[in-house]
Structure 1
Amino acid sequence: MLHVHNVFKSYSSAQGPVEVLRGVELHLQHGSSLALMGESGSGKSTLLHLVAGLDKVDSGIISVADRPLNSMSESQLANWRRTEIGLVFQQFNLIESLRVEDNLAFQARLAGRHDPQWQARLIERLGLGNLLDRYPEQLSGGQQQRVAIGRALASRPALLLADEPTGNLDETTGDEVLQLLLDLLNDSTTSLLMVTHSTHVAERLAHKVRLHKGQVVVEGEG
């Protein structure tokens, strides 16, 4: 599903180039889950942005479902992001002017994949049935993240990218939201790459690796 091969990425600074990723190798099988760990500044979010096609590698190859991202134009990448990946962030990033029901359908409608039956199933599994007419500001943090997860999965993406999705939640709520996410993934063919600093969260996923000074260190098979 996801192959990251010999990826290098650096950024310019007043002191010269800063090398963030140094020959990263990463592989994620279809339908599996992988936790990406590492200290602050290790390159976790940089790698996630590269996998999402939001930035370009200096060298190396990233391919998703056998499609190399560096061969796509900007318009092709934009369409690919709409149809093939879902994104969940620490900040919920819901559209404040839309009700919960419309937030849930937003990504799927953009992708041309709105499926009322699948959305109804997501609403039931995420416990959002009595919240559909509310706006994001009327929801708790845990409720907002459940909506964000439902929105990301509504288009049935091939790959879900999550950046500290429980980082803004208390431990109990975070555990509940994570379990809901994993349960929904078990009912789908979507693969998951999650950035997390939490060993507790990482242990819940099938595999985990650690980034250290821009390189991958295998943590265990889970």
Structure 2
Amino acid sequence: MLQVQGVFKSYTTPQGPLAVLAGVDLHLAARSSLALMGESGSGKSTLMHLVAGLDRVDDGSIQVGERRLDRMSEAQLAHWRRTEIGLVFQQFNLIGSLRVDDNLAFQARLAGRFDARWQAQLVERLGLGDLLKRYPEQLSGGQQQRVAVGRALASRPGLLLADEPTGNLDEATSDEVLQLMLDLLRDTPTSLLMVTHSPRIAARLDRQVVLHRGRVLPADAR
């Protein structure tokens, strides 16, 4: 599903080039989950943005399914993001002017894949039935993140990217949201790449790796 090979990325700063990724190799099999860990500033979010097609590699390649992101135009990447991946963020990023039901359907409608039956299943399994007519500001953090998970999975994407999705939640709510996400993933063709700082959360996924000094290591090789 995902192949990252020899990826380099640096940024220009007043002090000169800042190397963030130095030959990253990473793979994620179809229908599997992978936790990406590492200290603050290790480049986890940078790698996630590259995999999401939100930024460009300096060198190396990223392939998702049959698509080479480093060979795609900006227009192709924008269309690919709308149709082929799901994104879940720490800050929820729901659309404040839309009610829960419309937030849930938003990504699927953009992708041209809205399925009322699947949406109804998501609503039931995420426990959102009594919240559909509320706005995001009327929800707790855990409720907002459940909506965000449902929105990301509504189009049944091949790849779900989650950047610290439980970082703003307490431990009990984190466990609840993660379990719901993993349960739903088992019923879809979706693979999961999650950035997390929590070893406890990471242990729930199929594999764990660590980003250290610009390279990816197995979790037990730090």
TM norm. shorter chain > 0.5:
yes
Residue 88 of structure 1 aligns with which residue? Answer: 88
The within-5 A match list for 1:40-55 is 40-55=40-55
Residue 216 of structure 1 aligns with which residue? Answer: 216
Q: CA deviation at 1:66?
A: 2.1
Residue 33 of structure 1 aligns with which residue? Answer: 33
Once the two structures are superposed, what CA deviation does each residue of 1:80-106 show, in whole Å capped at 9, x if it has no partner?
000000000000100111000000000
- Paired residue total: 220
Once the two structures are superposed, what CA deviation does each residue of 1:128-175 show, in whole Å capped at 9, x if it has no partner?
001000000110000000000000000110000000000000000010
Q: CA deviation at 1:76?
A: 0.5
What SS does structure 1 have at the residue aligned with 2:216?
A: strand
The within-5 A match list for 1:61-100 is 61-100=61-100
Displacement over 4 Å in runs of 4+? none
Residue 176 of structure 2 aligns with which residue? Answer: 176
Q: Which amino acid aligns with 1:131?
A: L
What SS does structure 1 have at the residue aligned with 2:132?
A: coil
TM-score between the two structures when normalised by the length of structure 1: 0.98
What SS does structure 1 have at the residue aligned with 2:14?
A: coil
Kindly indicate whether residue 203 of structure 2 is the aligned counterpart of residue 198 of structure 1. no
The Cα RMSD (Å) is 0.6
Q: Which amino acid aligns with 2:111?
A: A
Q: CA deviation at 1:198?
A: 0.2
TM-score between the two structures when normalised by the length of structure 2: 0.98
What SS does structure 1 have at the residue aligned with 2:166?
A: coil
What SS does structure 2 have at the residue aligned with 1:148?
A: helix
What SS does structure 2 have at the residue aligned with 1:17?
A: strand
Unaligned runs of 5+ in 1: none
Q: CA deviation at 1:71?
A: 1.2
Once the two structures are superposed, what CA deviation does each residue of 1:31-74 show, in whole Å capped at 9, x if it has no partner?
10000000011110000000000000000000000210011111
Kindly indicate whether residue 130 of structure 2 is the aligned counterpart of residue 134 of structure 1. no
Once the two structures are superposed, what CA deviation does each residue of 1:5-36 show, in whole Å capped at 9, x if it has no partner?
00000000111101000000000000100000
Question: In percent, how many aligned pairs have the same letter?
Answer: 75
Q: CA deviation at 1:219?
A: 1.4
Residue 165 of structure 1 aligns with which residue? Answer: 165
What SS does structure 1 have at the residue aligned with 2:34?
A: strand
- Structure 1 CA distance, aligned partners of 2:193 and 2:66? 17
